[in-house]
Amino acid sequence: MGIDIVIGAGIGLFLFLWVIGYNVLPLAFLGVGAFLVWKLVIQRQVLTTSGRGVQISDTSVDFEDIGGQSAAKKELQEALDFLLYSERMKELGIRPLKGILLSGPPGTGKTLLAKAAARYTNSSFLAISGSEFVEMYAGVGAERVRKLFHRAKDLAHKQKKSSAIIFIDEIDILGAKRGSNVSHHEYDQTLNQLLVEMDGLGLEQEIQILVLAATNRADALDSALLRPGRFDRQVKVDLPDKEGRLAILNIHTRNKPLAEDVNLEKIAQETFSFSGAHLESVTNEAAVLALRDDAQEIEMKHFREAVEKVLLGEKLDRKPTVEELKRVAVHESGHAILAERVHPHSVSQISIRSRGNTLGYVRHYPKDDLYLYTQEMLEEQIMIALAGALAEEAVLGARSTGSAGDYEQALRLVEKMLASGMSELGVVDVSKLGTDQRQAVTRDILSKLEQRTQEIINEGKTILLQIVDLLKEEESISGEKLRLYLGTVA
């Protein structure tokens, strides 16, 4: 109310002076300047005291509620024991941990682990994103860091707890290597303040504060953050393996009615490289599909379609022409038959339904999660990628642009072979190979594999045409039905 009176009086005085013939132009400039300065000061004060972006929660998440991260949970719990048994640590003269960095791909449960850590240690919990610290106003980020640590102590006092956990998500925004944002020194000032606050943490304080941070770009962080005495521990939160995916599926289906035909172990096997967030989405989408079908229970078919939707996207309304549909069926049949020849029982489903950016697809699943590949394995993957185009050529007489993605995949695999010393060149520095030399070796590898692939396609051409007709009729067939035609049913 007071500021409104001042502004109104100022406007009245301005009009009065203008009426009596006074030159009000200098006064107008002075008034506008004073208003902008006042606005800047008030805005900065609001930014540094509002607590915008900080989330405070009495989290109910426990470590038992997080599946697929047994190694990360164990490592994190061992680190948290420094906070949980701080008195014992003080007796032994052990320096407390000040920070723990959770690094890994998106959707793997880093935020959930931070919340579980707060419950495990009975600590107050404050969460904020790294982007909330950086503003256009100089000094705001550093001030916000100071207030965040003060707020953590005040919250712990209020909740009558002896410790507090500050969780900073996306810390790579705040903690990027100094100098990388040359046009914005605010980033560096904010990071410097965080380092100062972390250096001030110690056992002698009444309230113990632990900083947990999450990132999927640990390589981008400033080295000062990662040295001992700041983020003392780095916990890798990676994509779950098959057993981890099964544990996550069990957690997310506890409150869902499952039909007798649902095999969560098989779903876990088929969802290689899915994160915890992906798997939660799969269970949710399966429930939505069951609701659409007015089903009382979630069936295996709902889970299969949910996996496809999460992996590839929603079905498209656009229908390809009859000629396009046949070409897509030939293409996908080529991929599937070749995959079954080199990796028996590896095809989960073949479809010519349009989803996302694809007109058709073959979904594979490995018998085991593999992280190392031999030369033979890489060559077989290249052959599977080439099979679609070669099937088109064998049946329809020409290839199409639909093979562009397959060729990109094949070239990436050839590059991996070169880098791993699996070519005729032996162990070489790939970056120092001449373009002509690299192209010649790549062409030679692909030519030999194309020839082997073409032989397999020609041998199975009769069955391939049968699969094409079946796909045109049903749009989608399972791997089991494919194996019936191939005569390779286990």
14 and 103 in a single domain? The answer is no
pLDDT score at 337: 93
Please name the amino acid found at residue 49. T
The number of distinct structural domains making up the chain is: 4
Q: What is the mean pLDDT of residues 135-158?
A: 77
- Among 312, 331, 359, where does a domain finish? 312
Domain that holds residue 414: 322-486
Identify whether residues 411 and 329 lie together within a single domain: yes
Residue 368's pLDDT band, with cuts at 50, 70 and 90, is: low
Task: State which of 208, 236, 264 marks the end of a domain.
Answer: 236
Residue 434: what pLDDT? 83
Q: Which of 115-129, 199-213, 269-283, 465-479 has the lowest mean pLDDT?
A: 199-213
Calculate the dihedral angle through the C-alpha atoms of 279, 283, 288, 293, rounding to the nearest 10 degrees. 130
Asked if residue 391 and residue 338 are part of one domain, the reply reads yes
Average pLDDT over residues 120-126: 87
On whether residue 226 sits in a domain, the answer given is yes
Same domain, 370 and 289: no
**What is the percentage of the chain residues whose pLDDT exceeds 90?**
24
Window from 150-154, 277-281, 299-303, 486-490 with minimum mean pLDDT: 486-490
Residues 348, 303 within the same domain: no
The pLDDT score that the predictor gives to residue 32 is 62
285 and 408 both lie in a single domain: no
Max Cα distance, the chain (Å): 103
Do 201 and 108 share a structural domain?
yes
Q: HSE of 86 in the Cβ direction (CA atoms, 13 Å)? A: 20
Residues 374 and 480 in one domain: yes
**Residues 308 and 360 reside in one and the same domain:** no
pLDDT, residue 51, reads: 45
Per-residue model confidence as pLDDT tens digits over 176-194 = 776 665 545 566 777 888 8
Cα–Cα distance between 364 and 270 in angstroms, integer?
A: 7
The two three-digit tokens of residue 205, written as one number: 């304080």
403 and 443 housed in the same domain: yes
> CA 201, 202, 205, 210: dihedral to nearest 10 degrees?
60
Q: Is the pLDDT of residue 24 over 60?
A: no
In tens, the pLDDT along 380-436 reads: 999 999 999 999 999 999 998 888 889 999 999 999 999 888 888 888 888 788 888
Q: For position 417, which CATH number holds?
A: 1.20.58.760
At residue 268, φ and ψ (nearest 5 deg) are -60, -35
Q: Which of 197, 217, 236 is the last residue of a domain?
A: 236
Parallel, antiparallel or unpaired: strands 163-169 and 124-129: parallel
DSSP tag of 64: G
State residue 10's pLDDT score: 62
In this structure, the answer to whether residues 479 and 368 fall within a common structural domain is yes
The residue with greater pLDDT, 286 or 6, is 286
Instruction: Flag whether pLDDT at 288 surpasses 90.
Output: yes
Residues that are catalytic:
332
Quick check: is 231 in a domain?
A: yes
Report whether pLDDT(47) > 60.
Answer: no
Pairing of strands 347-351, 476-478: antiparallel
348: helix, strand or coil: strand
In a domain? residue 317: no
DSSP 400-462: -GGGHHHHHHHHHHHHHHHHTT-STT-S--GGGS-HHHHHHHHHHHHHHHHHHHHHHHHHTHH
Residues 18 and 89 in one domain: no
Beta bridge partners of 165: 125, 210
